């Protein structure tokens, strides 16, 4: 989505604030400022700013400029208000989309699933194999899965860190399509690998995990893989996820790495206990 120039975003708020502030002006001041009185009346009747003539608009902009220069704190207030509103709107959209796309998030048959596939709590992770924070939280994830045998784990390949990330995710999804039973060992091997992940290195890891490299490379060209990754991108946008790692546990979306205590708390909440 294209970003709207900053001033164009806050101009209506500043305009409204200024014109509404006219209510606080003494009647004498309004009497000697017919333009301001007209603007106030126009706002109250929901008249569009486009109804002003160019000369009137210049005068209004001049009044606004003078007002801002004399009261610069209003700009900070407007920015904070805009940021708070945007945050609330984003949270509301994410929450609504978590309900709307619940089936796609938790039960897409094309998405790799591990842990206890019949577990009573599902954890969904959006990750990138080149993400340092994903690798940092990986031991915690393993501790959760080893300690709680009733966790179903959904792996959302979300390569956002360049071509190596995309190639690694394609290899992992090809591994899932080729032999689901070896996906998790392959995933774990990629997660503990430090440094760059060129395709040649990824293929060596795949071979050590037990995959036929030639067959894996052929499967990587399957159009279903690109479709799976694109769907994950779309889901991430819908949920307001723009970085890795990110987790969905129950009705909570958690962005960023989390500790063991937080995992346990969210799992407990998801179980309703």
User: What number of CA atoms fall less than 13 Å from residue 240's CA on the CB side?
Assistant: 17
Record the tokens describing residue 32, joined without a space: 């000697």
Please check whether residues 108 and 184 belong to one and the same domain.
yes
Distance CA 241, CA 5 (A): 23
Distance CA 188, CA 127 (A): 12
- CB count within 10 Å of CB 36 equals 19
- CB count within 10 Å of CB 168 equals 24
Please check whether residues 66 and 112 belong to one and the same domain.
no
pTM here is: 0.71
Q: 99 near 168, Cβ under 8 Å?
A: no
Long-range contacts of 103-110 (CB under 8 A, 24+ apart): 104/231, 104/235, 105/154, 105/235, 105/239, 105/248, 106/154, 106/248, 108/231, 110/224, 110/228
Among 19, 48, 71, the domain-final residue is 71
Full domain range(s) for residue 44? 6-71
248 assigned to some structural domain: yes
Distance CA 62, CA 54 (A): 12
pLDDT tens, per residue, the chain with 273 residues: 444 444 455 555 555 555 444 444 444 434 444 444 554 454 445 445 457 788 888 888 888 888 888 888 887 888 888 878 877 777 778 788 899 999 999 999 999 999 999 999 999 999 999 999 999 999 999 999 999 999 999 999 999 999 999 999 999 999 999 999 999 999 999 999 999 999 999 999 999 999 999 999 999 999 999 999 999 999 999 999 999 999 999 999 999 999 999 999 999 999 985
108: left (phi over 0), alpha (psi -120 to 50) or beta: beta
* CATH at 162: 3.40.30.10
Question: What angle (nearest 5°) sits at the alpha carbon of residue 222, between those of residues 160 and 128?
Answer: 20
Please check whether residues 57 and 110 belong to one and the same domain.
no
Number of domains into which the chain is organized: 2
Among 54, 71, 88, the domain-final residue is 71
90 assigned to some structural domain: no
CA distance to 168, 217, 237, 272, per residue, from 205 (Å): 11, 13, 31, 40
87 assigned to some structural domain: no
Cβ-proximal residues to 112 (8 Å cutoff; 6+ apart), any chain: 154, 155, 157, 172, 173, 176, 180, 183, 184, 187
94 assigned to some structural domain: no
178 assigned to some structural domain: yes
Among 55, 71, 87, the domain-final residue is 71
Phi, psi of 154 (to 5 degrees): -105, 125
Distance CA 178, CA 207 (A): 13
- CB count within 10 Å of CB 147 equals 11
Please give the pLDDT value at position 60.
84
Please check whether residues 195 and 252 belong to one and the same domain.
yes
């Amino acid at each position: 989505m294209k970003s709207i120039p900053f001033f164009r975003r806050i101009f209506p708020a500043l305009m409204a604030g200024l014109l509404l502030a006219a209510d606080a002006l003494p009647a004498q001041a309004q009497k000697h400022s017919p333009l301001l009185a007209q603007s106030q009346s126009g706002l109250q009747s929901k008249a569009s700013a486009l109804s002003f003539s160019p000369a009137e608009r210049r005068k209004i902009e001049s009044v606004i400029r003078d007002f801002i220069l004399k009261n610069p704190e209003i700009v900070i207030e407007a920015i904070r208000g805009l940021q708070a509103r945007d945050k609330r709107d984003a949270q509301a959209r994410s929450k609504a989309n978590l309900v709307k796309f619940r089936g796609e998030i938790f039960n897409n048959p094309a998405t790799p699933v591990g842990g206890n596939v019949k577990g009573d709590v599902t954890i969904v992770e959006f990750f990138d194999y080149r993400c340092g924070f994903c690798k940092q939280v990986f031991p915690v994830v393993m501790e959760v899965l080893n300690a709680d045998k009733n966790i179903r784990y959904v792996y959302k390949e979300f390569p956002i860190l360049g071509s190596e990330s995309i190639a690694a995710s394609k290899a992992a999804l090809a591994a899932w399509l080729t032999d689901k039973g070896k996906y998790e060992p392959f995933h774990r091997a990629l997660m503990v690998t430090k440094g760059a992940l060129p395709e040649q290195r990824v293929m060596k890891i795949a071979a050590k995990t037990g995959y036929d490299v030639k067959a894996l490379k052929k499967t990587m060209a399957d159009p279903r893989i690109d479709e799976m990754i694109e769907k994950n991108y779309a889901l991430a946008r819908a949920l307001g996820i723009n970085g890795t790692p990110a987790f969905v546990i129950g009705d909570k979306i958690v962005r960023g790495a989390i500790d063991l205590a937080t995992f346990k708390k969210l799992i407990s909440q998801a179980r309703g206990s």
